[in-house]
């Protein structure tokens, strides 16, 4: 894969799935606790967020008892390229979307 698949500013990764796994929370339970819809939770879990709604982020942070820096991670392009090279050499890579 080419370095061109990554935006120059890198990617913002939502760690919702990891946080849910750590807390053994199902999507249904998270929806109940936050009042968010299943499609909204699914988008955040799958890093398919078109635009961030701060009210949604606040609800997730409150219920999960984390700060915004734990809910989201910034991966600079340099790091993504290095991870992608490891993946092309046979290691598992998670992060980039086409």
When the pLDDT of each residue in the chain is averaged and rounded to a whole number, the result is 81
Where do we find the tokens 């009210």? 55
Give the pLDDT score at 93: 47
32 is a domain residue: yes
**Single pTM value for the model:** 0.71
Domain CATH code at residue 79: 1.10.260.40
Across the strands, what pairs with 73? 13
Give the pLDDT score at 97: 43
50 is a domain residue: yes
Q: How many domains are contained in the chain? A: 1
Q: Residues 62-95, buried b or exposed e (16+ Cβ, 10 A)? A: ebbebeeeebbeeeeeeebbebbeeeeeeeeeee
Which is more confidently placed, 92 or 34? 34
Instruction: Please give the average per-residue pLDDT across 23-46, as a whole number.
Output: 97
Decide the pairing of beta strands 72-75 and 11-14.
Answer: antiparallel
Lowest mean per-residue pLDDT among 10-19, 29-38, 48-57, 88-97: 88-97
């Amino acid at each position: 894969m080419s370095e061109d698949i990554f935006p120059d500013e890198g990617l913002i990764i939502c760690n919702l799935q990891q946080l849910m796994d750590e807390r053994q929370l199902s999507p249904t339970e998270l929806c109940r606790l936050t009042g968010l819809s299943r499609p909204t939770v699914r988008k955040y879990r799958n890093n398919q967020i078109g635009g961030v709604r701060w009210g949604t982020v606040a609800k997730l942070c409150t219920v999960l008892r984390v700060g915004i820096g734990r809910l989201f991670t910034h991966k600079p392009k340099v790091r993504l390229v290095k991870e992608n090279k490891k993946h092309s050499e046979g290691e598992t890579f998670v992060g980039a979307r086409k």
